[in-house]
Structure 1
């Protein structure tokens, strides 16, 4: 049973790792970071609504008192972490911003201890150490000159905290709702929050070309709906802390995308980092957490 959950989480991370393919295309056409978030949320909301309608009205029903769960996954997590992450990238190097984003498993472990009573074991500590070291190698921190302001640090840590919140709110939500319902309302709330902040030029938006439409659909379906469905499904069967560590295969995939599609260098340090991330996953699978 847990093997399936591991595969769900890892598959979700692989999908998230492909996001750079579509984001770079949209950014090259002049869309801002928040506009890309809003377009992704719009495409995801549309894509997830189709299977919801086929599932019947029951899948669309939520209790009003449970709305806070989806405010948590959609606004507190999805919109907040993107806002912080994009600001961190502007105020520090991309490598440092990415590394600070992957403090998320630490936040998940601490919050899971408080919210769910999940034990913080030596196995998890080892997996966290391997994960953080691997992410540092893959993002290129060891080979870059570190420039870090206080605001850059706070935005970076905020992105990691926001990223972690999905695992926490999602763990509560799977006790009451299906992964399809959770994913749908996550993006409905994310769309409601991000669209007013995007400041679109609607004349320009109306003239959007096929390449941008394809990239938006790729972001919405392949890099949003599918991975969030898989990740939420995995949360039904394993601890939030384990899921968060497994999901850090994402920077490995992102690095591979950079090498294959954008001719980015594959350095020995990056290879070591990829190996460390895989080692963290192996530790969680081989030893009982």
Structure 2
């Protein structure tokens, strides 16, 4: 049966919002450099989240682990230049597949080593199906460039996202999802602030640039990561990262139905496998569904 209270839905909604970033960037001014665009995204997102928790009076000083806050913020800050640089060096197809495909594996290994929580069998099956689906989906690209530096940068992006998820999970033990995301993203935006003085920001004063920055900051960052954190409270970090593979699925479907792109038969097969991976993670036998001491949903 479907898992009680559907704890994976917030993760899926977050991934859907992340999947709109490529389409949003396509509508931004051509002069918007990807790295400065990513830095501005965190700046708007961090500010939105901070104002959100301040207005609710939820920001409290106690029980914060400075080490975890800094590490989570640094991980998210590093993800932006790693990912965009990887895509620039080795192409969208290889860069995206390596970055997004490596993250679930890294998260599963980290969770196993740090928390001594062995990933479930359905996680392994779903992750394998999803990674194969990603390869098939991006095989639709006309040109594939395998550059060693680009591969390393993409692996760095995968490690950064996995690290952010694992570390955020620790912060959620003592703080609410709202405050965790607000504090982490505010600090992360401060880490990337120097980049805003390096790149040309004239594109931000154009209507399209400001509109897309606000959309990415408020919806594809603030709202999306808030949903991700709320879902992360109830499910293992490795499962959350695997579910985030709905991001390239969303991006591909938007490209077809909104931008007018076309997918090959092989790529449509990849779309089907990504849907199958989500179903595998969503469905478990009734007699094997339990909760552990921390309240995580798992199979026994």
TM-score of the superposition, structure 2-length normalised? 0.87
Aligned counterpart, 2:134: 135
Alignment of 1:28-39 (within 5 A): 28-39=29-40
Q: Partners in 2 of 1:203 and 1:251 — Cα distance?
A: 28
Aligned counterpart, 2:80: 82
Kept in 2, the 8 Å contact 1:40–1:220? The answer is: yes
Q: Partners in 2 of 1:241 and 1:192 — Cα distance?
A: 28
Aligned counterpart, 2:121: 122
Alignment of 1:1-289 (within 5 A): 2-26=4-28, 28-56=29-57, 59-63=58-62, 66-76=65-75, 78-102=76-100, 103-140=102-139, 146-200=144-198, 204=202, 208-287=205-284, 289=299
How many residue pairs were aligned? 283
TM-score of the superposition, structure 1-length normalised? 0.91
Kept in 1, the 8 Å contact 2:64–2:174? The answer is: no
Sort the Cα spacing of 1:200 and 1:210 in 2 relative to 1 into closer, same or farther, 3 A. farther
- Structure having the higher helix fraction is 1
Indicate the SS of the match to 2:8.
helix
Give the superposed CA RMSD: 2.1
- What's the offset of the Cα at 1:117? 1.8
Q: Partners in 2 of 1:220 and 1:24 — Cα distance?
A: 16
Indicate the SS of the match to 1:189.
helix
Indicate the SS of the match to 1:4.
coil
Q: Which runs of 5+ in 1 are unaligned?
A: none
Kept in 2, the 8 Å contact 1:17–1:251? The answer is: yes
Kept in 2, the 8 Å contact 1:34–1:198? The answer is: no
Q: Which runs of 5+ in 2 are unaligned?
A: 289-298
Kept in 1, the 8 Å contact 2:23–2:251? The answer is: no
Task: Provide, for residues 134-166 of structure 1, a one-character-per-residue CA deviation record: whole Å limited to 9, x for no partner.
Answer: 11112226x655432221221111111111112
